[in-house]
Amino acid sequence: MSNRRSFLKKTLVSTSLLLPGGIIQACANPVQESTGEKFKPLILSTWNHGMPANDRAWEVLMKSGNLVDAVEEGVKVTELDMDNLSVGLQGLPDREGIPTLDASIMKGDGSCGSVAFVRQVKHPISLARMVMEETPHVMLAGEGARQFAIAKGFPMESETLSPKAEEMYQEWKKESKYKPIINIENHDTIGMVALGPDGKLAGSCTTSGLAFKMHGRVGDSPIIGAGLYVDDEVGAATATGLGETIIRICGSFLIVELMRQGRTPQEACEEAVRRLIAKNSANIKDIQAGFLAVNKDGEYGAYAVHPGFNFARHHSGGGTLVDSKSKF
């Protein structure tokens, strides 16, 4: 194991973050995925940090009945989680040492909003919602998104890295090589999809993107159809992992369209992974990506390229962490 790899591994273990299996024991008793179950209402989120996010989303849904409030408030928990190195301003920065954020939100009626490459905003998901609700546009990026945030009264936050992010950035700078390490550096984006009691759907997705990415790089998370897609007629899907590979297959849109054609959420996620692998076969051993989907009947599914992906599920029976199946 290279020094950098072992450094990352040690750092992440010591912060009880995320090694496949490690998380699971630390946070909950995972169950194996079972297909064919149906729940309504149902909230699903990527990774183990989806557990507290789902709890919050469920609470909001039960109190207000508003599904968009639920998916926004739910992922805001993760945006503030100081242990999370892939979401929010405490996430790992780009190569220049600057944290830049991507987020999207979508309703099943086709309304959607997103922000990309935005700086100094604590809750990019709320800014994405404002793009959806208060502009004629779908996506604002970079300085324009930041100016919109200022105009809407969002406080501008400091860009000083969190101690953990600073330590990892300084370590990365020693070699300045970009090679994603699956399930570690690029782990942790939260994508949430929710089915309300009335059969309507909504979703949200928020991330600081790939660690040590090029300045200006935008991933799949703010791209409607890649990191998130929701359609009340069919279902919803979200993605996590190496965004470039997800964008190439329009992953979330693909899954919703496959469900429209009759596939179950599980079958649709598996087909998306098959296509992703087909388009990235040369270096697939270094690529992790995972998909999570629900259909309008409350059936759900998940699938990843490699083991290690899990997701949080919340229904009237409570919250559970579930291990996803994977291709390899």
Q: Which residues bind ligand SD4 (CB under 6 A)?
A: 86, 186-189, 207, 209-210, 219-221, 240-243
Q: Which is nearer to ligand SD4, 46 or 162 (CB)?
A: 46
| Nearest approach, Cβ of residue 222 and ligand SD4 (Å) | 9
Alpha helical stretches, state H, the chain: 3-14, 22-27, 50-64, 67-79, 124-134, 142-151, 163-173, 243-248, 251-260, 265-279
Q: Does 243 belong to an annotated binding site?
A: yes
Q: Which is nearer to ligand SD4, 73 or 94 (CB)?
A: 94
| Nearest approach, Cβ of residue 182 and ligand SD4 (Å) | 10
| Nearest approach, Cβ of residue 240 and ligand SD4 (Å) | 4
For residue 196, CA distances in Å to 71, 203, 273, 306, 315 come to 11, 11, 27, 31, 10
Q: Does 323 belong to an annotated binding site?
A: no
Q: Which is nearer to ligand SD4, 97 or 308 (CB)?
A: 308
Q: Does 95 belong to an annotated binding site?
A: no
Residue type, 288: Q
- Catalytic residue (choose from 46, 78, 189, 245): 189
Give the integer Cα–Cα distance in Å for 170 and 185: 15
Which region holds residue 188: left if phi is over 0, alpha if psi is between -120 and 50, else beta?
Answer: left
Structure tokens at 222: 């703010």
| Nearest approach, Cβ of residue 289 and ligand SD4 (Å) | 8
Q: Which is nearer to ligand SD4, 238 or 264 (CB)?
A: 238
Q: Does 240 belong to an annotated binding site?
A: yes
For residue 198, CA distances in Å to 38, 67, 163, 189, 297 come to 14, 10, 44, 28, 11
- The answer to whether 206 is a known catalytic residue is no
* C-alpha dihedral, 40 to 45 to 51 to 55, nearest 10°: -50
Would you call 49 helix, strand, or coil by DSSP? coil
Q: Which is nearer to ligand SD4, 76 or 296 (CB)?
A: 76
| Nearest approach, Cβ of residue 187 and ligand SD4 (Å) | 5
Q: Which residues of 249-273 are buried (b: 16+ CB within 10 A; e: fewer)?
A: bbbbbbbbbbbeeebbbbbbbbbbb
Summarize the annotated binding site for substrate as residue ranges.
217-220, 240-243
Summarize the annotated binding site as residue ranges.
217-220, 240-243
Known catalytic residues are 189
